[in-house]
Structure 1
Amino acid sequence: MTLDPATDNLAHLYPELGRNETLRSILQAAVHQAGYGLDVLPEDAPGWWRSGARMDSDSRTASALLGIAERAFILSFWERGVGMARGTTTSLDAVASAMGAWQSGATLAQLKSACPFVDYSRLAEAHERGDGVEAQWTSYRHTTARFVDHELIEAAYAQPQLRVLFPFHSLNSLNFSRCTGFPYTHDIPVITPANGRYRVTWWHTRSPHGPADIGEAESPDEAVALVLAHLPHNCGPAVAGTAHDLDRSDSGQ
């Protein structure tokens, strides 16, 4: 029997795997050895059945992937739909310690202290403090990214009803979400600058043929006024979590 080259390379880079083990199985053993009574799950994607693993809870996820060009465990740490931290290490024991600590409730600072190879951003710190909305607006208001229309950002930020929502861009379109984590909500009109004008539409899920038009505006202020006129009922401040969390809350589950 000829061994698949990719499988052979993984076995070479990760002797712990041998030829038959998976990242999930060897990480589970390492997690228990580190003293954490947590379950390690395989990644959902079929192509990662051997090289990916994760831990899940109601609000947090920690995932690991194997590098294929060189030995590297690539880690991601999420909370309520927000990518909070990342890290890369060559040590399986370090992977177990970092993932176990995160899933056991460690703060970003505690995680970094225990696992120096983990890094996180100021935006992640803001989400941890509960200031993710304001931090996102601040980021957009000061960015030099070419896809951000600063006049539009300022016009939206000037409106209290929009300032409490979570802004995000999809290409050059400005979106607003009632939650701070991904997936975001898509029940608030979208503003897309185009040829000196501003197209205001519903997200494409409102129509099987693509974005449903609300109207066009000559200025950022007019575009923002169209959004305000079409806000959902009781559209309050964005909450921590994802659109799925809001759906469950709205249905009373």
Structure 2
Amino acid sequence: MTDSRPSASVGGLPGPDSQHYPDVAPFGSLYAALRDAANTAGYQLRVDPHRTIGWHRTGAWAEQAPRDVNVVMGSRSRIFTIQFSLRQTILAAGSTDDLHAVVGSLHLWLGGASLRELGANWPFVRFGELSEARERGDAAEIAALKWRQMQSSTARHLADLHAFIDAAIEEPRLRALFPTTSHSTLWFSRTTDWPYTRDLPLVTPLGEARYQVRERDGHLHEPTDAAQSVALILAALNTPSEASPN
């Protein structure tokens, strides 16, 4: 077995805390420790430094397209937080203090296991109904489920959008789009997987069931109610766009 331990001065970045991570610190980085653990377990598993520069030594990344996994170490206590992705979309996540559980779950997911198989073998992994729909790959089911989840959600950032969502979900052409939010602004994608399309207007709540629709060219419509905002989005669906899907 080759020594996969990097120099302690890699990139000048802080390395694993030896108090909380005595099994990782001697390797100088999480990815090197995971490589060693994978080799010991007999797994053909390539693990690389995390793609975020600041986490090169305390994070790790592994890929078997179209799947990938990100792992990050906790800074104040021993914990490994893991995200399991399919086609660049996170489907499951979980945390454990067991380095061997990290390696085992990576190996299983990248080897093609289903979400339910992953969760059954590694109970710390969590996923929901939307993730299972994404795994099945039914775009209509994914969009419909996301609309229902947003409609029933009590999340604070969605509170002022509920009147619009209630109106939009009654319109089949909007219901077929994938809705998502950023800073309380709702936007739509013609695809349910990343990269999402960005050629349709955005809807920003103004309070008291009033909304402002912004076209992708920056044009702002006058504030209006939920029904009229839906009408503006529907009009945009009928307008050819030269916007890039990215």
What are structure 1's unaligned runs of at least 5 residues? Answer: 207-211, 236-243, 248-253
**Percentage of pairs with the same residue:** 34
CA RMSD of aligned residues (A): 2.6
Does 2:176 match 1:169? no
1:33 CA displacement: 2.9
Partner of 1:61: 68
Partner of 1:250: none
Candidates 97, 101, 105, aligned match of 1:94: 101
Partner of 2:152: 142
Aligned residues: 228
Moved more, 159-168 or 12-21: 12-21
TM-score (norm 2): 0.82
> 2: distance between equivalents of 1:111 and 1:157?
33
Moved more, 127-136 or 92-101: 127-136
Does 2:80 match 1:73? yes
Partner of 1:83: 90
In structure 2, relative to structure 1, the CA distance for the partners of 1:90 and 1:146 (3 Å cut) is closer
> 2: distance between equivalents of 1:95 and 1:159?
44
DSSP 3-state at the match of 1:230 = helix
DSSP 3-state at the match of 2:188 = strand
Q: Which amino acid aligns with 1:144?
A: T
Once the two structures are superposed, what CA deviation does each residue of 1:152-201 show, in whole Å capped at 9, x if it has no partner?
Answer: 11221122211111011222222111222345322111111225532111
DSSP 3-state at the match of 1:175 = strand
In structure 2, relative to structure 1, the CA distance for the partners of 1:37 and 1:174 (3 Å cut) is same
Q: Which amino acid aligns with 1:65?
A: V
**Conservation of the 8 A alpha-carbon contact between 1:216 and 1:223:** no
Candidates 48, 57, 60, aligned match of 2:55: 48
> 1: distance between equivalents of 2:118 and 2:42?
16
Does 2:30 match 1:23? yes
In structure 2, relative to structure 1, the CA distance for the partners of 1:135 and 1:20 (3 Å cut) is same
> 2: distance between equivalents of 1:98 and 1:114?
8
Does 2:232 match 1:226? yes
Once the two structures are superposed, what CA deviation does each residue of 1:187-239 show, in whole Å capped at 9, x if it has no partner?
Answer: 11111122553211134xx4xxxxx124225321211111111127689xxxx
1:146 CA displacement: 4.0
> 2: distance between equivalents of 1:163 and 1:40?
40
Q: Which amino acid aligns with 2:213?
A: V
Partner of 2:43: 36
> 2: distance between equivalents of 1:49 and 1:181?
27
**Conservation of the 8 A alpha-carbon contact between 1:72 and 1:90:** yes
> 2: distance between equivalents of 1:195 and 1:138?
22
1:44 CA displacement: 1.6
Partner of 1:201: 214
What are structure 2's unaligned runs of at least 5 residues? Answer: 1-8
> 1: distance between equivalents of 2:96 and 2:214?
44
Moved more, 158-167 or 215-224: 215-224
Q: Which amino acid aligns with 1:221?
A: A
Does 2:166 match 1:154? yes
User: How does 1:111-126 map onto structure 2 within 5 Å?
Assistant: 111-126=118-133
**Conservation of the 8 A alpha-carbon contact between 1:81 and 1:180:** no
